[in-house]
Each structure stands twice: as C-alpha cells, then as structure tokens.
C-alpha cells in the first residue's frame, strides 16, 4: 500500500462512505462540498480529486472538471509517478476516475490512464507500431451482487488512423464504436458506453488483433 493509499483510508472514513453513496445516487451537488472538505486536509490526494471531478461532471460544470483533470495529471507526474514506477507500475494505480453515470443495472465509471496502457501486442518490442495502447477505460460495475463487471477501452495502435472503443472480455474483444484520429472526450465516451449498456448490447464482432 502506497503512502497516498494509506492516507486515503485514514482521512474522513465517514465522509468517504457518504461521498461514494451520493455519487452513486447522482446527488453530485451534495457530494461536492464534502469532497472539498476532504481536499482541504489532503489537497493532492488523487482519490478525492477524482471524486471532485466526478461531482463537477455530474453537475455539468465541465470547464471546472477539466481544470481538476489537468491538476491531477500535474500532481501525479510530480508526486506519484516515480513511486508508481518503482512499485512496478501496478495496474490498480494506473488510472483515475473522472465521471460516473448510474444506469438501471450498472454504475458506469469513465477513467483516464496516467500513461497510455498496453492492451495488445508486445510493449517491450523494439518496433511498437503494432502495440495496442489504451488511453481511457470505462468500467461498468454491476448493481446486483451476482453481476459481472464489464471493461471498455479506447485504444489505438501507432500505425492506425482511428481510435476504437472496445469491450474486453475473456471470450472476445467486441467493437462498440469507431472514432477518427482525434481522441474523443471522456464524457462522450462514457455516455456511449452507458447507451450501449442501456440497450442491453452483449453481441458484436469478436476479433483480435485485426481491425475491420
């Protein structure tokens, strides 16, 4: 457990539970002041900065949310990155949550990787043009106890002209959407996944590593 993780667990445990419940129930306006109270004690704690961003995005305060995101990237680079690499670059600490949408069956959480994350190919290869790298990950957490989480990633290989939003499972990689060479906004991406799940989509062309 990192220094920052241990601080997160120690600071305002009751507030943490309240904030999480408020975000899940869509009460973003009520969550914001509680998050800011925590951040007054630990202003560079990315866990709470992410919750602030989620509360702002939930209220439609997109300019403020983007300012928080820019701050998170700066804080991670100056205070977290070196220790993260020294710890072996753990995947659990490789991204932060930026937006949450509550559906009937899922909590849909849009996250951003601090550094592009390899999801296909060989990242250690000399020629990395074939390596599939993800910049965003959208996690669908089931509301039912017997439900299964679903993972979506926005990825692109260096030689490709398009970004691809795909669902990754043990059985296949399913295409959800295709974008141009300009990376879509995290809010747009998370909404696309939410709409996809709302329609009950579980089918799609399974493939790897080829592209249509």
| pLDDT, tens only, 51-69 | 999 999 999 999 999 999 9
Residue 211 falls within a domain, yes or no? no
Q: What is the pLDDT confidence band of residue 39, given thresholds at 50, 70 and 90?
A: very high
Identify which has the larger pLDDT, 6 or 15.
15
Confidence check: pLDDT of 10 > 70 = no
173 belongs to a structural domain: yes
pLDDT at residue 16, rounded to an integer: 83
Domain boundary among 73, 93, 113: 93
Percent of the chain topping pLDDT 90:
70
Note whether residue 22 is domain-resident: yes
If we measure between CA atoms, which residue out of 123, 98, 128 comes closest to residue 110?
98
| Within a domain: 130 | yes
Last residue of a domain, one of 66, 93, 120: 93
Q: Is residue 195 part of a domain?
A: yes
28 and 120 in a single domain? The answer is no
Q: Across all residues in the chain, what is the average pLDDT?
A: 87
Question: Considering 62, 93, 124, which residue would you say is the last residue of a domain?
Answer: 93
Q: What is the mean pLDDT of residues 120-124?
A: 60
> What is the number of structural domains in the chain?
2
Q: Is the Cβ–Cβ distance between 86 and 122 less than 8 Å?
A: no
Look at residue 203 and tell me whether its pLDDT is greater than 50. no
Tokens of 181: 């060479």
34, part of any domain: yes
Share of the chain above pLDDT 70, in %: 83
DSSP 23-77: HHTT-HHHHHHHHHHHHHHSTT-HHHHHHHHHHHHHTT-HHHHHHHHHHHHHHII
Instruction: Note whether 74 and 128 are same-domain residues.
Output: no
Residue 58 and residue 117 in one domain:
no
Residues 104 and 164 placed together within one structural domain of the fold:
yes
The domain in which residue 126 lies consists of 95-204
104 and 179 part of one domain: yes
pLDDT given for residue 210 in this prediction: 43
Kindly tell me the sign of the dihedral angle through the C-alpha atoms of 43, 18, 98, 169.
positive
Q: pLDDT-derived band of residue 17, with 50, 70 and 90 as boundaries?
A: confident
Does residue 70 sit within a domain? yes
User: E-strand spans in the chain?
Assistant: 95-102, 106-120, 132-142, 150-157, 163-168, 173-179
pLDDT average, residue stretch 85-105: 95
Domain with 46 in it: what CATH number?
Answer: 1.25.40
**Same structural domain for residues 19 and 100?**
no
Same domain (yes/no): 73, 46? yes
Q: Are residues 51 and 150 in the same domain?
A: no
Quick check: 151 pLDDT over 90? yes
Asked, for residue 118, whether it belongs to a domain, the answer is: yes
Residue 4 has pLDDT above 80, yes or no: no
Q: What is the mean pLDDT of residues 158-177?
A: 89
């Amino acid at each position: 457990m990192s220094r920052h993780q241990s601080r997160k667990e120690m600071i305002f445990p009751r507030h943490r539970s309240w904030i999480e419940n408020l975000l899940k129930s869509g009460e973003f306006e009520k969550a914001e002041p509680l998050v800011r109270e925590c951040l007054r004690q630990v202003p560079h704690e990315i866990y709470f900065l992410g919750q602030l961003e989620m509360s702002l995005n939930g209220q439609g305060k997109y300019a403020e949310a983007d300012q928080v995101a820019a701050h998170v990237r700066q804080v991670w680079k100056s205070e977290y990155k070196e220790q993260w690499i020294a710890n072996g670059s753990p995947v659990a600490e490789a991204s932060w949550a930026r937006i949450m949408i509550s559906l009937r069956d899922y909590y849909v959480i849009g996250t951003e990787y601090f550094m592009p994350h390899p999801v296909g190919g060989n990242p250690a290869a000399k020629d990395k043009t074939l390596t599939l790298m993800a910049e965003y990950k959208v996690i669908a957490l089931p509301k039912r106890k017997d439900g299964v989480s679903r993972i979506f990633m926005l990825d692109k290989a260096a030689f490709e002209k398009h970004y691809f939003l795909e669902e990754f499972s043990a059985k296949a990689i399913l295409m959800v959407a295709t974008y141009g060479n300009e990376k879509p906004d995290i809010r747009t991406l998370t909404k696309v996944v939410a709409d996809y799940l709302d329609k009950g989509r579980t089918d799609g062309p399974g493939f790897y590593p080829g592209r249509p």
